[in-house]
Chain A
Amino acid sequence: MHNSEWSLILFTVLGQFSAGLTTGLLILHLSDFHKTGINLQQTLRKGIMIAAICMVVAMLASFFHLSAPLASVYALSNLKHSWLSREIVMVSIFTGLLAVTALRIWHPGREALKSPWLLLLVTVAGWLMIYTMARIYMLPTVPAWNTPHTLIRFFTSGFITGIGFLLIMPGLIQIKHQSFNNSPMLYIFAGIISASFLIRLAGTFLAGAPVPEENIAFVSQIPLTAILLPWTLWFTGSILLIWQVLKPAAQPTRSGNLKKLAFVLIILAAFIDRYFFYESFYRLGV
Chain B
Amino acid sequence: MKQWAFYFDASQCSGCKTCQVACKDKHDHPVGMRWRNVYEVAGGEWKPKGHNWISGIRSYNISMACNHCEDPICMTKCPNKAIYKNGEGLVLIDEKRCMGCHYCAWACPYGALHLDKSKGKMTKCTMCADYIAEGKLPSCVTSCPMRVLEAGELSELRENYGINAESFPLPPPHYTKPALVLKKHPGATAKVNWKVINREEIKNA
Interface residues of A (CB under 8 A from B): 2-3, 65-72, 74-78, 81-85, 88, 136, 139-142, 214-218, 281, 283-286
Contact = CB atoms under 8 A, between A and B. Distances in A.
Given A68-B119, A85-B79, A285-B109, 5 more contacts: A67-B117, A74-B79, A88-B79, A141-B73, A141-B109
Interface string B159-197: 000000010111110011000000000000000000010
B97 A285 contact: no
How many residues of B sit at the interface, in one of the four size bands?
A: 35 or more
Contacts of A142: 106-107
Nearest to A212: B172
Given A67-B117, A77-B80, A140-B73, A284 B171 contact: yes
Contacts of A88: 79
Interface in B79-125: 79-82, 96-103, 106-111, 115, 117, 119-121
B169 A286 contact: yes
B97 A74 contact: yes
A228 to B, nearest CB: 27
B77 A82 contact: yes
Given A67-B120, A81-B76, A82-B77, A75 B99 contact: yes
| Interface of A: prevailing SS | loop
9 contacts: A67-B100, A71-B80, A71-B97, A77-B79, A78-B79, A85-B79, A141-B175, A283-B109, A284-B172
Interface in B38-88: 39, 64, 73, 76-82
A150 to B, nearest CB: 13
B2 interface: no
B14 interface: no
Interface of B: 37, 39, 64, 73, 76-82, 96-103, 106-111, 115, 117, 119-121, 166, 168-172, 175-176, 196, 199, 202-204
A158 B121 CA distance: 32
Given A67-B117, A141-B107, A141-B108, A214 B79 contact: no
A285 B172 CA distance: 8
Nearest to A142: B106
A2 B121 CA distance: 17
B202 A3 contact: no
Contacts of A74: 79-82, 97, 99
B79 A82 contact: yes
A216 B99 CA distance: 28
Greatest chain A CB density within 10 A among B73, B120, B121 is at B120
B106 A3 contact: yes
B111 A285 contact: yes
A136 B78 CA distance: 11
Nearest to A69: B99
Contact of B170 (A66, A283, A285): A285
A218 B200 CA distance: 11
A139 B109 CA distance: 11
Given A68-B119, A286-B110, A217 B39 contact: yes
A283 B106 CA distance: 8
